[in-house]
Chains A and B, each alone.
Chain A
């Protein structure tokens, strides 16, 4: 992924996903420069970047510094389901980081499941159903 120039995308972008991230996690997932957003262009003090995925699609990423809510927007004319799938292939989000996705990107099945603690996994594996034998 790379940071694109603002005028590389010359159409409006609409939110397609809302993520809940820490700033460290944001910078891990999006290793590009972020810029302070005009205070009137966001609901809270924010940083943002227009990123271009290695596979080509553009995404506007806006991170709210007070809440950690991160809005991902894509061009209105884009094939959103395909672009969102490409986004998830390149941005390794875990399921509980995705708060919301637009109905236009399809069902929420592509994100990685949340990591499970080994103890819980072992306990689940040892659990015996009453009907089993």
Chain B
């Protein structure tokens, strides 16, 4: 029992995404952060979740989260989770959406435009 109590699933992060209130609501309600291919720009063959490393900066709207899935090792400052890697699942409603289970620790729906960090 003590061992079971001591075990906590691994978490990674923090990461953040800048996004609007409706997307915040969807992700907070489901506990999943989602991502789509950028098909209106290029081929975008593989759905992947995209986020930025670190906590949500002050004055920005979006979410801060800790996923239970390790990210692809790609680009500094950003993280991706691609469908096909362990722990990254496809949405039942939309096969073009990749999902990762996360613990969302901060949500900012609105902020003063003048205080936004750019």
Is A107 interfacial (CB-CB < 8 Å)?
A: no
Query: How far in angstroms is the closest Cβ of chain A from B33?
Result: 9
Q: Are B42 and A43 in contact (CB under 8 A)?
A: no
Residues of B in contact, count (CB < 8 Å): 33
Known A43-B52, A45-B18; contact A10-B43, beta-carbon cutoff 8 A = yes
Is B50 interfacial (CB-CB < 8 Å)?
A: yes
Tell me, in angstroms, the Cα distance from A58 to B41 when the chains sit together. Answer: 12
Chain A, residues 14-41, CB within 8 Å of chain B (1/0): the string is 1100100000000000000001011111
Residues of A in contact, count (CB < 8 Å): 34
Query: How far in angstroms is the closest Cβ of chain A from B31?
Result: 16
Stretch of A59-67, A85-93, A121-129 with 4 or more beta carbons under 8 angstroms from chain B:
A59-67
Q: Are A6 and B77 in contact (CB under 8 A)?
A: no
Q: Are B52 and A41 in contact (CB under 8 A)?
A: no
Chain B residues contacting A100 (CB-CB under 8 Å) are 75-77
Q: Are A71 and B75 in contact (CB under 8 A)?
A: yes
Interface of B is mostly: loop
CB within 8 Å: A-B pair count? 97
Known A10-B43, A18-B75; contact A39-B23, beta-carbon cutoff 8 A = yes
Is A11 interfacial (CB-CB < 8 Å)?
A: yes
Query: Which A residues fall within an 8 A CB radius of B?
Result: 6-7, 9-15, 18, 35, 37-45, 48-50, 58, 60, 62, 66-69, 71, 73, 99-100
> Could you list 17 further interchain pairs (A-B, Cβ under 8 angstroms) beyond the known A37-B38, A43-B16?
A6-B40, A10-B43, A15-B75, A15-B78, A38-B39, A38-B40, A39-B23, A40-B23, A40-B35, A42-B50, A44-B17, A44-B52, A45-B18, A48-B42, A58-B42, A66-B117, A69-B78
Give 8 nearest A-B pairs by CB, closest first. A44-B18, A41-B38, A40-B36, A48-B41, A43-B50, A50-B42, A12-B45, A15-B75
